[in-house]
Amino acid sequence: MKHKLIEKEIKYEGFQLCPHWIYKNFKIQGDSIVAFCGECDVKLDEMVDIEDVINNEPIYSKNMLSFITEQFNVNLVEGVFRQRLLICIIKEALEKRGIKLERSGDDLYVEGKKLTVSIATKSLTSILIHTGININSEGAPIRACGLENDLGIKDIPGLALEIMENYANELEDIVLASTKVRGV
């Protein structure tokens, strides 16, 4: 899996969670994951999570570290497994930095405050996952916390690279592990 840290700021508005967005914008073809920082403002008409639409819960963050991944030849259930794997890798990376977290499904919390948003969906050609980690929690519509202003984490690019590399390596290792067993 290819990965890239995008250095320019990008406002995540939800429309980016579409087939070939990574390929069209960054010329990375195939299974890939990118990370970028910027404001997150997803209105209800761009929401993929129907539960959030029903509950009238748009997403906002003044500054968020966003990951978008597109993976091909994967069904939706496996895509959700991969989404949960990404969340677990994020949790491990933050725990290594001394942060105590709780995971509930595809969400991470610190002392009851929401740190992440995440969704997995299927397009006609691929699985798409967006996971965002608040950098700054000010102005969030719910009880939230942020990497910088609440948790004191300053090296956001280093964290993003570590998460993407660990995610890509874990997926590669899973595939490799499936090739070393004999069928029964």
Report the CATH number at residue 67: 3.30.930.10
Domain that holds residue 143: 2-171
Alpha-carbon separation of residue 92 from 77, 100, 101, 143, 183 (angstroms): 23, 10, 9, 22, 32
**Residue 141, pLDDT score:** 86
Written as six digits, the tokens of 141 are: 């519509």
In a domain, 180, yes or no: no
**Residue 49, pLDDT score:** 85
**Residue 46, pLDDT score:** 87
AA identity, residue 101: L
In a domain, 176, yes or no: no
Model confidence, pTM = 0.95
Written as six digits, the tokens of 99 are: 């942060």
Task: State how many domains the chain has.
Answer: 1
In a domain, 182, yes or no: no
How far, in Å, CA of 2 to CA of 33, rounded? 6
**Which of 41, 88, 46, 47 is CA-nearest to residue 63?**
41
In a domain, 178, yes or no: no
Question: Which residues of the chain are under the pLDDT cut of 50?
Answer: none
**Residue 135, pLDDT score:** 98
**Which of 70, 64, 110, 62 is CA-nearest to residue 86?**
70
Which secondary-structure segment (H or E) carries 133?
strand 126-136
In a domain, 64, yes or no: yes
In a domain, 184, yes or no: no
In a domain, 179, yes or no: no
